[in-house]
Structure 1
């Protein structure tokens, strides 16, 4: 049983940390982007050093007070929001945002967990390198939260998830001990890899305080195109064609349904697609090229090959960085439009590539008996991650479908599971999908997860209620 973060505990904690570390949480710390939950906390801690984080966690472990780690607050599954139970202590790493070192000759840098993602990208650019993680929230999400959620984004196809971009970690474990694992080594098989245990654990196994990250050479040029395709199956064939003709050069391959552009207009965004009428299915394709290759020639060759194979029916190729930015703005604003329209049920799913076309065909029929809906399907087709979101018909509100919301989700997730997919792709489990993990998770894996949680966090203080409930 946990105890609340009450005034007495806060007064005692204040004696262990520097002045100004503790305060009342601001409203932004108790909200989440979709407005689905309202959080609670007895206090907010904003430590300045790893030693202070350790002192805070030791005190919480001794008093059995729950800890909710807080990054940029951009998570979409409630991992940063605790709505019930004894009020926890929020621990924000926003004051720990320093660059600890950069080694361009090693393609590595070390940053503290509170650094904003766009600042990490900027630090890499200063030394002529690329940190490739790219998210719509990169101006506010923090690297510790990216690691805790194993963030994906638009460049996973080429560079991998956050797990693939991390060489080493520093973290405070649930007993207050510090894990000093900030290695820059590419090979280190000296025992269990705690880095990979902590990445994706969503704050349930410790607080990440710093990370050693992989950098990459900056491409000499990039080129972006938006291509009309007959179907998701054709998009997958086009992806394979790109792999054959431009191996290693494809940095993004996004599938977009026409409904996304309808929602942009419906939500009042002044962004116009480069097609009239808009085709049912589009692909946003980005190539990042080394020196010696002509971007326009390379993209035009892919377009011609795709058209000859019947995989591309129309398209536009950006001829400037401004135009490339406009095409990306269309894709990246769709989630904002979704929130304004109001989803009945949102699904962050991943599927084997060969199962995607079947899912897109079967899923609308599977929910048809539950009501009249619109579906907005878009996502990172290159890595099998779709955002398949269900909305009310135009002129209706999501509240009208509240009675069937859970059933819609269950039908969609059952279909995903039957096709060998995952119902928690890039957003994680948080608190939103705890029941889904219990329903679809492998029993052996779940037993091992509970054993690990019990071993590292026997009092259950770390992010109570998240992931395993």
Structure 2
């Protein structure tokens, strides 16, 4: 699919200046540069302009002009994506549509347990405003200080609390969307039951701006827990971690809100590059689990439940050692270890990243089989395996051998490693993208692993809603 750009962009830019103000139509190279490269610096594009509307009506006006002038639009929130989904191509004919100025919290309804926010509101701001109202907005991820709720919705972001609260899709009750023709759909109903036709909301969530532009959303809130109890547990294998997960779910049920798996090499990397984050055990363990309970009764109740869980896990031989956080600061220190794994990886050098998902029961087998195949193919490759064990999402990354040239490693091995990992994912009935989206990074790979029937259905939806292919072309599906 190639968008048509039949008319000169200057007429489009002049019309946009009239619609949203000339100062919000950025064309100077210095002004546009921050919008043209992705967070990982893997992709760098060009654009005829960066457009910065301040309301849903202004977004609709810009999209309508783009439709008239046949200009493709690339929507962008905080630009923290990991798959190049918010980066324009190199033609210079596309325009970046920044939603950062749509940054209002429109309403908090504590009786309905909802918060209505515009697409450009930073995730941490949503969390803070919910807390001020005595509520919890549970979506939490490493980029929460800069990512936006519109981007979270567009990629159906996951994060660390999916086990209890679900992905962003499950936290959303309603959307406001600008269609590819520039019409504004108000679906901000905040209903938990609405059985009146096709679920348009879910169609736009996870579509990465290829079907329309999300401008606002009604998001679910939850009661603030009375206490959180956090611990690290050392285990002998991923299989033991799965058995421990089952035990924790049996003991804690819905109180179990976090269950993160980290391989021994992840812990080594963090210790190497961030020595202030002290390794909590006297001995090394093949796998470490970070788990958290959120208790609605009291800290004493949560800690008692936690202690009984750990006692049972040690008696059954599932856990080799465990450390329970004794303070909020120590709890945060445990989470800092988990959150610094990607930063430590970046310090170590270039690597091949995979955001995959497999059925929870298959995780141990997937790791064993895929690790072995990678070791045979690229001797010395180091596996950085971590992720959200409770929902089957692994960040299964491959670091260059110790002392090797990371750039050469990437150039020579990335396609081969991707094929090994994605073929293994397919054998285990998994997905090649669990929470980062497809963007331009995995659009071709997705076509390789989806069935013809599924691809035809996706293309039919895209063609029906965006026949001119002006909404983020080249992303998700080609």
**TM-score, normalised by the number of residues in structure 2:** 0.96
- CA–CA distance in 2 between the matches of 1:468 and 1:165? 25
- Counterpart of 1:325 (choices 320, 323, 332) is 332
Find the counterpart in structure 2 of residue 369 from structure 1.
376
- Counterpart of 1:303 (choices 285, 295, 310) is 310
Find the counterpart in structure 2 of residue 128 from structure 1.
134
Q: CA deviation at 1:253?
A: 0.1
Q: CA deviation at 1:366?
A: 1.1
* 2:315 pairs with 1:313: no
- CA–CA distance in 1 between the matches of 2:15 and 2:340? 46
- CA–CA distance in 2 between the matches of 1:34 and 1:267? 19
Moved more, 380-389 or 263-272: 263-272
- CA–CA distance in 1 between the matches of 2:33 and 2:469? 26
After TM superposition, list the pairs within 5 Å mapping 1:100-115 onto structure 2: 100-115=106-121
CA deviation vs aligned residue, 1:127-153 (integer Å, no higher than 9, x gap): 100000000000000000000000000
On the 8 A contact 1:348/1:387 being kept in 2, the answer is yes
SS of the residue aligned with 1:188? coil
Q: CA deviation at 1:397?
A: 2.3
CA deviation vs aligned residue, 1:295-322 (integer Å, no higher than 9, x gap): 2211111110101111011010001100
Find the counterpart in structure 2 of residue 388 from structure 1.
396
On the 8 A contact 2:32/2:49 being kept in 1, the answer is no
Runs in 1 of length 4+ with deviation above 4 angstroms? Answer: none
- Counterpart of 1:419 (choices 424, 428, 434) is 428
Q: CA deviation at 1:5?
A: 7.4
Find the counterpart in structure 1 of residue 474 from structure 2.
465
SS of the residue aligned with 1:26? helix
- Counterpart of 2:218 (choices 198, 203, 212) is 212
Moved more, 389-398 or 282-291: 389-398
CA deviation vs aligned residue, 1:290-346 (integer Å, no higher than 9, x gap): 115522211111110101111011010001100000000000010111122234311
**TM-score, normalised by the number of residues in structure 1:** 0.97
- CA–CA distance in 2 between the matches of 1:238 and 1:370? 32
Shift in CA distance, 5/36, structure 1 to aligned 2, threshold 3 Å: farther
- CA–CA distance in 2 between the matches of 1:90 and 1:19? 15
Moved more, 364-373 or 142-151: 364-373
Which structure 1 segments of 5+ residues have no match? none
On the 8 A contact 2:44/2:90 being kept in 1, the answer is no
SS of the residue aligned with 2:4? coil
On the 8 A contact 1:5/1:89 being kept in 2, the answer is no
Shift in CA distance, 268/225, structure 1 to aligned 2, threshold 3 Å: closer
* 2:450 pairs with 1:441: yes
After TM superposition, list the pairs within 5 Å mapping 1:260-271 onto structure 2: 260-268=266-274, 270-271=276-277
SS of the residue aligned with 1:41? coil
Shift in CA distance, 142/269, structure 1 to aligned 2, threshold 3 Å: farther
Q: CA deviation at 1:269?
A: 5.2
After TM superposition, list the pairs within 5 Å mapping 1:94-173 onto structure 2: 94-173=100-179
SS of the residue aligned with 1:176? coil
- CA–CA distance in 1 between the matches of 2:24 and 2:366? 49
- CA–CA distance in 2 between the matches of 1:21 and 1:81? 19
Q: CA deviation at 1:19?
A: 4.3
Shift in CA distance, 400/276, structure 1 to aligned 2, threshold 3 Å: farther
CA deviation vs aligned residue, 1:32-59 (integer Å, no higher than 9, x gap): 2222111211111111111110010011
CA deviation vs aligned residue, 1:60-81 (integer Å, no higher than 9, x gap): 0111111000010010000011
- CA–CA distance in 1 between the matches of 2:4 and 2:94? 9
Find the counterpart in structure 1 of residue 440 from structure 2.
431
CA deviation vs aligned residue, 1:174-204 (integer Å, no higher than 9, x gap): 0001111001111111111111000000010
SS of the residue aligned with 1:246? helix
On the 8 A contact 1:5/1:66 being kept in 2, the answer is no
SS of the residue aligned with 2:82? coil
Q: CA deviation at 1:30?
A: 1.4
